[in-house]
C-alpha cells in the first residue's frame, strides 16, 4: 500500500530531516584520517538523542548501530568498528532519524585525504545523478523516469549501477512502498502523485555493477573490490518540482 502524506505529516518529516542534516554535519566535522568509524557512530547517536530523536537504524532487523558506515568497496550496510580512516579512503555514511513518529534518511560519501582522481570523479557523478533523479520526482511522471535519469547519467561515465539494492518510500516506517530503483525505463512503473515521500539513493560502483553480501548478513561490497559511492536524500513528490527535505548544507559547511 502506498502512503501519501498530508502537509502536517510532511512537517513532522521536515523536523526529522533537520535533525538528521545536523547529525550529518556533526559527523562531517569529525571525519579525518586517524578516526575510527565507531567514534563517528557514537557521536551521531549522541547528537540525535540530545535533539529528541532516535536513530532509525539502531535495532532495525537486529542492526546494532546508528550509522551504516561503508568504506571503499563496501557499498552499503557497513558496520561501524575500530577501522581507522586513512588517506585514500572513501566512506559512505548513511543515517536515519525518527522524530515525532516519522523517519528521514540520507547518505553522503566522503573522500579522505588524497584520493585518486577517478574515485573523486565517481563521487561527483554519483552525487550529480541523485539530483538528476530528484528532478524527475514530480507528479505525473513515472518511477521509471527517476530511475532512468540516474542510470543514464552514471552509465555514460562507465560506472556500474547496483541492482540488488534500491531506494524506498519513507514515513512512519523507515522502509515503505514503493521501491525506487536506480535503473529503469522512461515512462514505466508507478505514476507519481503529490504527497509521496521517497528516499532516493544512487549506489554506483567504479567497476562492475555486481555485488556480494558478506557472511555477517549485512555488509554489501562490490564483487571486483573497486570503490563504490552512495548519496541519498528524502524528498516529497510535488506538482512542479520535488521538495528535498534532507540537506547536505551542514556537511558542506563542516567540510569547508
pLDDT tens readout for residues 127-183: 999 999 999 999 999 999 999 999 999 999 999 999 999 999 999 999 999 999 999
Q: Does the annotation flag 51 for ligand binding?
A: no
Q: Does the annotation flag 232 for ligand binding?
A: yes
Position 29 scores a pLDDT of: 98
- The confidence band for 247, taking pLDDT boundaries of 50, 70 and 90, is very high
| Residue entry with cell 550496510 | 77
Q: 110 CB contacts (<8 Å, ≥6 apart)?
A: 28, 31, 90, 91, 92, 93, 255
Position 89 scores a pLDDT of: 98
Q: Does the annotation flag 125 for ligand binding?
A: no
Position 103 scores a pLDDT of: 98
Helices (H), 65-142: 117-135
Q: Does the annotation flag 179 for ligand binding?
A: no
Q: Does the annotation flag 77 for ligand binding?
A: yes
Q: Does the annotation flag 82 for ligand binding?
A: no
* CATH number assigned to the domain covering 7-255: 3.90.230.10
Look at phi and psi of residue 51 and say left if phi exceeds 0, alpha if psi is from -120 to 50, else beta. alpha
Position 142 scores a pLDDT of: 98
| Percent of the chain topping pLDDT 90 | 100
Q: Does the annotation flag 175 for ligand binding?
A: yes
Amino acid at each position: 500500500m502506498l502512503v501519501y502524506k498530508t502537509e502536517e505529516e510532511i512537517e513532522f518529516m521536515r523536523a526529522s530531516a533537520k535533525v538528521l542534516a545536523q547529525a550529518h554535519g556533526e559527523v562531517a566535522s569529525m571525519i579525518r584520517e586517524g578516526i575510527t568509524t565507531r567514534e563517528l557512530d557514537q557521536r551521531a547517536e549522541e547528537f540525535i538523542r540530545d535533539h529528541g530523536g532516535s536513530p532509525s537504524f539502531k535495532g532495525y532487523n537486529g542492526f546494532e548501530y546508528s550509522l551504516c558506515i561503508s568504506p571503499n568497496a563496501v557499498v552499503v550496510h557497513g558496520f561501524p568498528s575500530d577501522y581507522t580512516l586513512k588517506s585514500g579512503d572513501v566512506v559512505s555514511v548513511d543515517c536515519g532519524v525518527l522524530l515525532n513518529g516519522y523517519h528521514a534518511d540520507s547518505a553522503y560519501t566522503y573522500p579522505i585525504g588524497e584520493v585518486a582522481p577517478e574515485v573523486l570523479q565517481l563521487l561527483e557523478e554519483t552525487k550529480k545523478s541523485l539530483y538528476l533523479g530528484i528532478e524527475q520526482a514530480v507528479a505525473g511522471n513515472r518511477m521509471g523516469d527517476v530511475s532512468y535519469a540516474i542510470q543514464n547519467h552514471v552509465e555514460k561515465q562507465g560506472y556500474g549501477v547496483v541492482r540488488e539494492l534500491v531506494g524506498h518510500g519513507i514515513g512512519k516506517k523507515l522502509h515503505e512502498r514503493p521501491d525506487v530503483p536506480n535503473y529503469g525505463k522512461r515512462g514505466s512503473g508507478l505514476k507519481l502523485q503529490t504527497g509521496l515521500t521517497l528516499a532516493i539513493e544512487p549506489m554506483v560502483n567504479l567497476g562492475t555493477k555486481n555485488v556480494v553480501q558478506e557472511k555477517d548478513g549485512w555488509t554489501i561490497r562490490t564483487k571486483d573490490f573497486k570503490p563504490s559511492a552512495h548519496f541519498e536524500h528524502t524528498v516529497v513528490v510535488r506538482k512542479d518540482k520535488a521538495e528535498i527535505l534532507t540537506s547536505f548544507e551542514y556537511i558542506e559547511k563542516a567540510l569547508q
